[in-house]
Amino acid sequence: MLRNWFAVVGFSLVAVMNTTAYAKDLPDFTELAEKHGAEVVNISVTQNVHADASAMPFPGMEGDEQMQEFFKRFGIPGMPGQGAPQQDYKSQSLGSGFIISSDGYILTNAHVVNAADEVIVKLFDKREFKAKIIGVDKRTDVALVKIEATGLPKVNVGDPAKLKVGEWVAAIGSPFGLENTMTAGIVSAKGRALPQENFVPFIQTDVAINPGNSGGPLFNLAGEVVGINSQIYSRSGGSMGLSFSIPIDVAIDISNQLKASGKITRGWLGIAIQEITKELAESFGMKNTNGALVASVEKNGPADKGGLEAGDVITKFDGKAILTSADLPRAVGATKPGKVAAVEVLRKGAVKTLNMGVGEMPSETAETAQGNKPAPKAEANKIGLTLKELTPQQKKKLNGKNGLL
């Protein structure tokens, strides 16, 4: 009996020692939270909406922000009515952000502050400031705002290129309005391309990100910001372990341009591209699926003038290897307009190098403006929708098809 008792005690001691050793191997996020929590802010956005009363979710729901958000999130229009009076109401939403300079510059997502009539920034110490929107870039979902304050704690910026898949990361933000909430996980993948997101090589993580986390920072264990939490994949509206962050180097470059000029300048070739499948690679006599296939070339555009043809496979742009079609828009967009870039293509089995001048990408404002006149202010109709005809540029993207935006 005594021998058996010692055996049990010995086993218990080993188990305790193993548990202690295992705990030491786990990351400790307490220091990160204590040192860097004050660098994260809560952002409250108010938008004044002018619409038919019938376009409200339901009569009497004007002040119920949660119900408004529910109908907005799932795209449910209001109940149609006949001859309903015009009514003004305020739409409110919450997001996160972080301080990048001690004099009050703050990074967040474009979708958090875009079209806002008022932006209120709440600091860790509960002080509140009305913020000025310096600029937004919808293509990368990055926005820069400014508050009139000094001596603020600012984040340390890390290098996303040094991130490794499997590395621990943490997010701080305001999910569902719960300020300074920290969640943690690992880097699931890097350089992730998402549909309709051509200019951002997203960092994929399994960090719990929910509504209200948008615009908040993604930290590495050194307490450096490596990304801006921007999107999630979800079937429920909540976290499912698939979150996507904008690399901080992309965001800082955008913020510097917004700070300097209030707008973003990107390179442009005037082509439509598509991914190279295994079948296409075989038909072209290629050994792999690397590159971007040119589907069409815009007449008199930079690529057309530079000799690029539909059917060409771009394998290098300005010295950068193009491994997937998603690599090309990022490489071209990061190129200064006016630069002559060497473009290596595969054409009918032969490798050619074309030198072409890079144009400037048409701005979103230019695409939606009607001539030189400012676009009229849109108002929702009786079924709660705001519609407009497509511009020539938008029709071109749809191969000439008609429709309403």
Q: How far apart are CA 51 and CA 144, in angstroms?
A: 29
Q: How far apart are CA 345 and CA 312, in angstroms?
A: 6
239 is catalytic: no
- Could you tell me the sign of the dihedral formed by the alpha carbons of 180, 181, 182, 186, in that order? negative
214 is catalytic: yes
CA angle 286, 292, 297 (to 5 degrees): 120
**Count of CB atoms within 10 A of residue 322's CB?**
23
**Count of CB atoms within 10 A of residue 158's CB?**
20
φ, ψ for residue 279, nearest 5 deg: -65, -40
From the list 101, 111, 234, 304, the catalytic residue is 111
Q: How far apart are CA 228 and CA 217, in angstroms?
A: 5
137 is catalytic: no
- Report helix, strand or coil for 260: helix
From the list 54, 93, 214, 243, the catalytic residue is 214
| Selection from 280, 332, 326 nearest residue 306 by Cα | 332
- Report helix, strand or coil for 23: helix
**Count of CB atoms within 10 A of residue 279's CB?**
9
Q: How far apart are CA 209 and CA 216, in angstroms?
A: 10
| Selection from 289, 185, 282 nearest residue 239 by Cα | 185
- Report helix, strand or coil for 331: helix
Burial (Cβ within 10 Å: 0-12, 13-18, ≥19) of residue 401: exposed
Question: In this structure, are residues 54 and 80 in contact, taking their beta carbons and an 8 Å threshold?
Answer: yes
From the list 93, 96, 137, 141, the catalytic residue is 141
**Catalytic positions, please?**
111, 141, 214
